[in-house]
Structures are given as C-alpha cells and as structure tokens.
C-alpha cells in the first residue's frame, strides 16, 4: 500500500521442469537488467526507447517438451500427427510505453514522473482457481525487467494472484483496489498517514501483491479490512511470507519487502530510487 516507511506452494514437478526451460528462454531474451549501456534484448530496447508508440515485446515462443496422452508411436513419420496440445502455459510479459490515456486518473500533472517513464505490461499469472490469466501492470521502466524476473518466477511457482489490473479501473482509489484484492503498481499518490511525501507507487517503483492475503497493518488493523484473517502469517496460498518462495522471487530480483517494516505492509515490494 504505502511507499516510504522505516525499513524493517504447491508445485507441479513436471510443470517446473518445463517452465524452467521457458524461464531460461525468457531470461536469455531479456538479458541482464543492468545499466543503460547494455540494452540487450527486445525488452531492454523497448524499455529504453522512450517513444509513445506501441513497442510490444513478448517472451520467446515456448514449445513444450511433453504432450498430453503421449502414446508411443510405432507408425511411420508419414502419419504426420497434428500438433501436440501444449500442457505448459506460456508466461507472457509484453511491454509498451504508457500514455496519459493508459493511466487515467492514476496520473496527473504535478506527479513526480511522466507517462513516458512508465510501462504498461501485459503479464500472465495463475489465479486461485488454477487458471492462467493476463493482467495489466503499470511500472517504472527502470524496474520493468526486474519485475519481469519476479513475475516469471511466480508463474513458475504457480503462485496464485487474485487479479492484476490498472489501478485506474478502481478510480485510482487505493482502498478500492485493495478491497478488490487487486495487485497493482503505479499510482500517483502520497504515502498514507497524512504524509506529504510521494509513495514509491507514485514513481511506479512499488507493487502491492494480493492485498487481502497480504494486508497493510496500521496500528494493528488490517488494510483492507478483509485482510484481518491474514494477520497471522502462516504460509498459505497467495501470501508473501519471510522465507517463502514467492517473496524470494521478489528479493532475488532486487525488491525489498514492506513486511519487514516495524508497521508491516505485507503486500508491498519496492525498488526505491
């Protein structure tokens, strides 16, 4: 939820093996996340162009190594069976430069960065119902590749996410977005608690993950209120917990976690400037 405060799964084995291949392809494509002098890979070039045009980048097409109902074939190659049905969904991470229209009420003049510094990302994720869906995440271009690594790992883990939508769909109301258990990034707003400082969300450098399962704790109270049952931080689906693989996906990519703050914000991960 907030930005600046004092710093404080179930896995399918067969899937992981195949997904690891996908991740390798993905990492190979995106290159390192490093300095501006190493714009390797399509994602890097997309995030560094600064154009307002659509510059989609897509992870490499992935050909699954296994097929459903693999009957040992004794027929000749001339049989030419139809293409096998993929059983491993592809992780999608498509990046384009944001426009003011994309950002709607989440951005206005006077915000600390402009739309040209932000990226709109189409990202695939697993739902709590076990489906793969595509969400929309708005992030600072400077952290897009690191976020890609984190979300690719979450996908590999089948870490469940309720939804990922542009916060503008909730009138940029953080309380409404949290109540909807919406995972989101950019929102040009101040830190809570009456502060006059910009949240790291206002820079697109923070992401709130499953806010109900990972509530922000203010004076012992969960925000959103529906997050109250999750103040007890047992490792359950959709939770970021210390030592858990989902949190590790973020920390390995360079994010720090609000769950370590003295007043914990379990949903919040960030890469400050």
Residue numbers at the binding site for Zn ion (CB under 5 A): 1, 206, 208, 268
Q: Closest separation between CB of residue 249 and Zn ion, Å?
A: 17
Residue nearest to Zn ion (CB): 268
7 within 8 A of 150, measured Cβ to Cβ: no
Q: Closest separation between CB of residue 9 and Zn ion, Å?
A: 23
CA distance 258 to 262: 9
Select 3 or 160, whichever has its Cβ closest to Zn ion.
3
Residue entry with tokens 């994602």: 43
**Residue 227, token pair as written in the block:** 């997050």
Q: Closest separation between CB of residue 151 and Zn ion, Å?
A: 16
Task: Tell how strand 268-270 and strand 256-257 pair up.
Answer: antiparallel
Select 119 or 268, whichever has its Cβ closest to Zn ion.
268
CA distance 84 to 65: 10
Q: Closest separation between CB of residue 117 and Zn ion, Å?
A: 18
Select 57 or 172, whichever has its Cβ closest to Zn ion.
172
DSSP string, 49-61: H--SS-----PPP
Select 94 or 208, whichever has its Cβ closest to Zn ion.
208
Burial of 73 (0-12, 13-18, 19+ CB in 10 A): exposed
**Phi, psi for residue 83 in degrees, rounded to 5:** -55, 140
9 within 8 A of 246, measured Cβ to Cβ: yes
167 within 8 A of 136, measured Cβ to Cβ: no
Identify the DSSP state of 184: B
Identify the DSSP state of 13: H
Select 18 or 239, whichever has its Cβ closest to Zn ion.
239
Select 205 or 268, whichever has its Cβ closest to Zn ion.
268
Q: Closest separation between CB of residue 119 and Zn ion, Å?
A: 18
Q: Closest separation between CB of residue 161 and Zn ion, Å?
A: 15
Q: Closest separation between CB of residue 200 and Zn ion, Å?
A: 7
β-bridge mates for residue 204, sequence order: none
Q: With both helix axes pointing from N to C terminus, report the angle between 144-157 and 245-252 in degrees, rounded to the nearest 10.
A: 160
CA distance 201 to 2: 8
């Amino acid at each position: 939820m907030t930005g600046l405060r004092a710093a404080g799964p179930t896995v399918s084995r067969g899937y992981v093996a195949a997904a690891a291949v996908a991740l390798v392809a993905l990492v190979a494509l995106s290159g390192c996340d490093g300095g501006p002098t190493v714009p390797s890979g399509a994602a890097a070039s997309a995030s560094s162009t600064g154009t307002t045009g659509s510059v989609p980048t897509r992870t490499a097409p992935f050909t699954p190594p296994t097929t459903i109902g693999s009957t040992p074939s004794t027929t000749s190659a001339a049989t030419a069976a139809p293409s096998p049905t993929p059983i491993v969904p592809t992780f999608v991470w498509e990046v384009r430069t944001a426009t003011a229209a994309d950002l709607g009420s989440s951005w206005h003049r006077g915000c600390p960065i402009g739309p040209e510094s932000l990226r709109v990302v189409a990202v695939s994720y697993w739902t709590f119902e076990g489906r793969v869906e595509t969400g929309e995440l708005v992030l600072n271009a400077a952290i897009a590749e690191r976020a890609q690594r984190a979300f690719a790992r979450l996908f590999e883990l089948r870490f469940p996410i309720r939804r990922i939508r542009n916060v503008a769909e909730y009138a940029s109301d953080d309380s409404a977005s949290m109540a909807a258990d919406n995972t989101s990034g950019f929102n040009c707003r101040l830190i809570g608690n009456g502060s006059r400082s910009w949240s790291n969300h206002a820079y697109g450098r923070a992401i709130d993950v499953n806010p109900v399962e990972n509530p922000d704790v203010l004076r012992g109270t969960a925000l959103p209120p529906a997050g109250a049952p999750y103040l007890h931080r047992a490792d359950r689906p959709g939770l970021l917990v210390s030592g858990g693989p989902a949190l590790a996906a973020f920390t390995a990519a360079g994010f720090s976690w609000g769950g370590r703050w003295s007043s914990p914000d379990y949903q919040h991960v960030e890469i400050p400037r």
